[in-house]
Copies of this chain bind each other. A is one copy, B any other.
Amino acid sequence: MAAPDQVTDPVGSRLLRRLRDSGPLSRAELASGLEVPRARLLSELDSLLAAGLVQEAGPAESRGGRRSTLVELNRDLRFAAVDLGARSIDVEITDGRLEPIAVHSEPADIRSGPKVILHRVSEILAKFKVDGAYDRLQAIGIGIPGPVSFRDGVPVSPPIMPGWDRFPVREVLGREHGCPVVVDNDVNIMAIGERYGGVARMTDNLLFVKIGTGIGCGIYVGGQVYRGTDGCAGDIGHIQVEDDGPVCSCGNIGCLEAYFGGGALGRDALAAARSGQSPALAERLSNSGALTAADVAAGAAEGDATCVQLIRDGGRRVGTVLAGLVSFINPSMIVIGGGLAGLGHLLLAEIRSVVYRRSLPLATGNLPIVMSELGARAGVVGAAVLASDLAYGQPS
């Protein structure tokens, strides 16, 4: 197969992405809507066939007359999608249409540093290869939990990733695996995944709000991912929601993240359990020795008043920040994802209530605020989209 970074022809790039998104097509179907002269299209298709990126896929279903032949992406194309979290590594190997071939998840501490973590990523990929999941990768997409210089493929001053600042992630993985690599922020890859294969398909102006250990936002404007001047757009966890209040990990006070998100919720749940304020949390703490957002969700489902209030308070503060952002950016959709999306309808209802009450009516008249469809898979799906865009010649 050709090295995927050789696909620089815009027609070839569009053909590959069309086959990725639609599956096997006849030449006539492939041509429709592309507005490219048929001879040009057929010649480009021949190049892709010769390069081994595309293959014949047998005859189309007969509609009378001569049967046409379908073409499809070479079934041996493979991408690697990696989602590094603060405490996890998720990896998928996908085919050229981004369908998963092999999946692996394991706990890991991002603070172990880039050498340890990327070495482990490479071990996981090598194991997949030995097991036959791939022969050769076309490209790797990887998301990391901090700001990224998308152009340079390096983390930039990531607050929770000691040792990673400007570490050459793209270069190291590319050299190790002999293929192009694309590096992005973990929230951006979730937004990209959700817009490609989830609830936000074709949405032009999207806010994807990740509520996990921390809180961040992926942004689409005009159908394009927006990463900001320094690659740190969407850092909404440190927007101030109260003039005073708990000190945040960033050193400021009153940040959204100091009130809500996995870290803050765990802290508040522990306090409510220990003070006896929440019988449900106290029982769970004595059973398991620790408390997470899932315990708060379970407590709320059982009707524990403190758990319900913790979720409502968090939703109200997220809603207050989002209400301001809706007035500012006038999006067409907001998607809530990340680990704490598991808090469910109670969280969503509170967020909606504040945004719909506080933002300009014109901006909320047709504004859906919905839960992520892809859930925990959003990140790897987005990483695979980025990898395939790179290989198929479409800058993301």
Report A's interface with B, CB cutoff 8 A.
147, 156-157, 204-205, 217, 219, 221-222, 224, 226-236, 238-240, 250, 252, 320-321, 323-325, 327-332, 357-363, 365-367
* A165 → B minimal CB distance (Å): 11
Would you list 11 pairs from A and B whose C-beta atoms are within 8 A, ordered by A residue? Answer: A205-B228, A227-B330, A228-B329, A230-B366, A232-B363, A238-B359, A240-B323, A250-B360, A252-B358, A325-B328, A329-B329
Q: Which 8 residue pairs across A and B have the least CB separation, nearest first?
A: A228-B330, A233-B330, A239-B324, A229-B332, A235-B327, A232-B362, A157-B362, A205-B229
Kindly identify which residue among B157, B240, B360 contacts A320, using a CB–CB cutoff of 8 Å. Answer: B240
* This chain: copies in complex: 2
Kindly identify which residue among B222, B232, B239 contacts A224, using a CB–CB cutoff of 8 Å. Answer: B222
Task: Please give, as numbers and ranges, the residues of chain B lying within 8 Å of A252 by CB-CB distance.
Answer: 357-358
- In the complex, A264→B96 CA distance in Å? 59
Task: Please give, as numbers and ranges, the residues of chain B lying within 8 Å of A204 by CB-CB distance.
Answer: 229
Most B Cβ at <10 Å: residue of A229, A234, A323: A229
**Given contacts A147-B362, A363-B235, is CB(A328)–CB(B328) below 8 Å?**
yes
User: A327–B229 contact, CB under 8 A?
Assistant: no
User: A217–B362 contact, CB under 8 A?
Assistant: no
Most B Cβ at <10 Å: residue of A228, A235, A320, A321: A228
- In the complex, A64→B111 CA distance in Å? 67
User: A329–B233 contact, CB under 8 A?
Assistant: yes
